[in-house]
Amino acid sequence: MKKFIKEKGIVIPLDRANVDTDYIIPKQFLKSIKRTGFGKNLFDEARYLDKGLPDQDCSSRPINPDFVLNQARYAGGSILLARENFGCGSSREHAPWALEDYGIRCIIAPSFADIFFNNCFKNGLLPIVLDNNIVNSLFEETVPNEGYELEVDLTEQTILKADGSVIKFEIDCARKKSLLNGLDDISLTLLHADDIKNFEERWKQKSPWLFT
Amino acid sequence: MTGKTLYDKLWESHLVKDLDDGNSLIYIDLQYIHEVTSPQAFEGLRLAKRSPWRSEANMATPDHNVPTTTSERAQGVEGILDPVSKIQVKSLDANCTEFGINEFTIDDPRHGIVHVIGPEQGRTQPGMTIVCGDSHTSTHGALGALAHGIGTSEVEHVLATQCLQQSKAKNMLIKVNGELGRGVTAKDLVLAVIGKIGTAGGTGYTIEFGGDAIKALSIEGRMTVCNMAIEAGARAGIVAVDDKTIEYLKGRPFSPSAELWDQAEAAWRELHSDDDAYFDKIIELEAIDIEPQVSWGTSPEMVAAISKNIPDPAQMENDAKRGNYQQALAYMGLEANTPIQDIKIDRVFIGSCTNSRIEDLRAAAAVVKGHKVAESIKEAIVVPGSGLVKAQAVQEGLDKIFTEAGLQWREPGCSMCLAMNADQLGEEEHCASTSNRNFEGRQGFGGRTHLVSPAMAAAAAVAGHFVDVRDWT
Ligand code: SF4
């Protein structure tokens, strides 16, 4: 997995609550059997004016000029600023894959849906939960200031603003460790293979019908 | 010492060990697999040269993008017209063969939506931990199992290790007291709950549904309720085991054999919260207050009772909510204060893992029997949840009732619930749908979904707009 240590980048404000995973990546793109290539269809229905099809060349599609990703000032942005309950809906990991493929490394919101939140960490993406008031003020600062950047430092758990002020954020230590080191969860779990086997033996004694 | 909740019991019985970092390793008894969220997981196994920890602890079926027309289905996989879908279904077949996983293939008579066929086969059992790369895995909690959706990386993780690294959720109890009124169903109950607590109301919790109204529901009704726990933000919903649960499991193909049945039943009977269990949050509702529900917006919390009007964003308490409501109404092409009954319908979809079991089809058939679908309806489809549900319905003559009324009778699959196959809404079309999500574009680009119960969808099909099914004669 890709490591996340520090990220400095342009902030893209997506001012919409309850952004669901269908909105992040519509279902027609889920037919792919690969993990990559979803970035061009990130937020497809909001970003383009026509209906997107898998394997289509997106460069000639009509774009929605009002949508934030289509505004030149946010080009190359890597930090997504969002509203509450971001990533609700389906469990599709294609949502973090699409964000990551587009170039987003960090998402800041007052709250996230559980499964999406969890999926981010499997893909080197850092979702940060901040108090609603702080998120509000970040929106207020981002929108009028072209080129507004933040610098996220995972080791220190800080977000540095251009004016030098710092916002602290919380993250659970297991997740922090695996992002910082880009660890592979499966190998980590397999270090406990003997414990799993022992558990399985005990569980089989207790619930033999589950093992027939 | 305080007692334990059902969730505490399920968690503790599957705890392999607590890890140093605050997470725990939880053993997973069963994984369901479908074609959309698994290809990358199998690919991951191959790349790392890993094999499944216990292949027999998995069960697969293609459901999300299979076609539902009889002509396409007559030829199995080869009949799938969409080449991209065909590749995905074929990949599932090939992966299951390669890794020794039991699959109910597209032409198996037991094929269907994964969350319908799992319980139907007796594969889902009380006391299990169950996962699937699909958020509606919460459905299986209706049988007293701890079941939730996961992403593809975790699908691979469970395949390789039979475990998940997790942190424990908090406990919420939603207690629905009293008795539901006539014509009010499990679907209305759960929509009313989501309307009350909101789509993020259950985030971070496992929700146990209890109270007399839940006890009175059939297992199928409980599945409808737990299915939509995820729409309330909770990863898992559960209902305690009772006589109905035990009855439901008797004689199913994968239920414990006769020698082990008594032992299993004794263990299952312990699966309820203790009287003095501690819940972090308790929410109570009175069943009698719940009317048939219709969603009017683009989030499952945007629901109203059939007797009410579409809410007015101007009346909302804060700017954020006002903005959301305005956005939703603009997308839906609806005006504030319009009576819900005046919303006109273009299409009807009866199906999905929320409402495609035999009871759902019976309820819909009872409403349309002797009636005709309104002229203004472009298409009304009934998609049974599984091949066995379909066979049962045919045996009861429900298919005839539907087709005589002018509804189409289809082959099992997810169909227009997420519209990955050809079953889709056109732009700006309003659909009375028994599914679970009304997000923008969910049922087709620009489509407008209204979530309702099967009986309400059927009544709307006949009337061409929403009507109160309690007045139906
Ligand atoms: S029926 Fe709908 S909600 Fe259920 S598994 Fe299929 S797509 Fe998901």
Per-domain residue ranges of chain A: 6-181, 182-212
Residue B157 token pair:
């993780």
Q: Do A172 and B167 touch (CB under 8 A)?
A: yes
Q: Report CA B460 to chain centroid distance, whole Å.
A: 21
Candidate from B33, B37, B418, B439 with most ligand 1 atoms within 8 A of CB, to mutate? B418
Chain B residues closer than 8 Å to A96 by CB? 151
- Torsion sign across C-alpha atoms B367, B298, B302, B344: negative
The 3-state DSSP class for residue B194 equals helix
Distance CA A190, CA B331 (A): 48
Distance CA B160, CA A190 (A): 8
Q: Which residues contact B229 (CB under 8 A, 6 or more apart)?
A: B138, B141, B190, B202, B207, B209, B235, B236, B237
Q: What is the pLDDT of residue B320?
A: 83
Measured between CB atoms, does B51 come within 8 Å of chain A?
no
Q: What is the pLDDT of residue B318?
A: 85
Residue with tokens 């039943």: B265
Alpha carbon of B357 to ligand 1 centroid (Å)? 13
pLDDT in tens, B72-83: 999 999 999 999
Classify residue B363 as exposed, middle or buried by CB count within 10 Å of its CB (0-12, 13-18, 19+).
buried
Parts of chain B with a pLDDT under 50: none
Which CATH number describes the domain made up of A6-181?
3.20.19.10
Please name the member of B160, B323, B440 whose beta carbon is closest to the beta carbon of A45.
B440
Residue A161 token pair:
């603003």
Candidate from B352, B354, B410 with most ligand 1 atoms within 8 A of CB, to mutate? B352
Residue nearest to atom 4 of ligand 1 (CA): B353
- Say if residues B301 and B198 touch (Cβ distance below 8 Å): yes
Distance CA B336, CA B264 (A): 53
Report which of B354, B208, B222, B216 is spatially closest to residue B271, judged by C-alpha positions: B208
B331 to chain A: closest CA residue? A46
Alpha carbon of A125 to ligand 1 centroid (Å)? 27
Residue with tokens 């056109």: B426
- Say if residues A59 and A47 touch (Cβ distance below 8 Å): no
pLDDT in tens, B124-143: 999 999 999 999 999 999 99
pLDDT in tens, B17-30: 999 888 999 999 99
Q: What is the pLDDT of residue B321?
A: 87
Please name the member of A31, A88, A91 whose beta carbon is closest to the beta carbon of B134.
A91
Query: Shortest Cα distance from B63 to chain A (angstroms)?
Result: 12
- Torsion sign across C-alpha atoms B463, B393, B117, B82: negative
The 3-state DSSP class for residue B288 equals helix
CA max distance for chain B: 65
pTM: 0.94
The one-letter amino acid code at A10 reads I
Alpha-carbon distance values, B91 to A31, A33, A140, B114 (Å): 11, 8, 48, 17
Q: What is the pLDDT of residue B268?
A: 98
Q: What is the pLDDT of residue B317?
A: 84
Chain B residues closer than 8 Å to A53 by CB? none
Complex confidence, ipTM: 0.94
Q: Report CA B211 to chain centroid distance, whole Å.
A: 21
Q: Report CA A207 to chain centroid distance, whole Å.
A: 39
B229 to chain A: closest CA residue? A89
> Strand ranges (DSSP E) for B64-132?
102-103, 129-132
Chain B residues closer than 8 Å to A18 by CB? 199-200, 299, 324
Candidate from B353, B356, B382, B433 with most ligand 1 atoms within 8 A of CB, to mutate? B353
Which pairs count as long-range contacts for B254-263, CB under 8 Å and 24+ apart, including other chains? B254/B121, B254/B122, B254/B123, B255/B122, B255/B125, B256/A209, B256/A212, B256/B125, B257/A209, B257/A212, B260/A208, B260/A209, B260/A212, B261/A209, B263/A208, B263/A209
- Nearest 5°: phi and psi at A175? -70, -40
As for ligand 1, residues whose beta carbon falls within 6 Å of it are B 63-64, 113, 115, 134, 136, 352-353, 414, 417-418, 435-436
- Say if residues B148 and B227 touch (Cβ distance below 8 Å): no
Percent of chain B with pLDDT over 70: 100
Q: Do B153 and A123 touch (CB under 8 A)?
A: yes
Parts of chain A with a pLDDT under 50: none
Alpha carbon of A116 to ligand 1 centroid (Å)? 17
B54 to chain A: closest CA residue? A211
- Say if residues A89 and B233 touch (Cβ distance below 8 Å): no
Distance CA B18, CA B23 (A): 6
The 3-state DSSP class for residue B156 equals helix
Q: What is the pLDDT of residue B464?
A: 98
pLDDT in tens, B241-265: 999 999 999 999 999 999 999 999 9
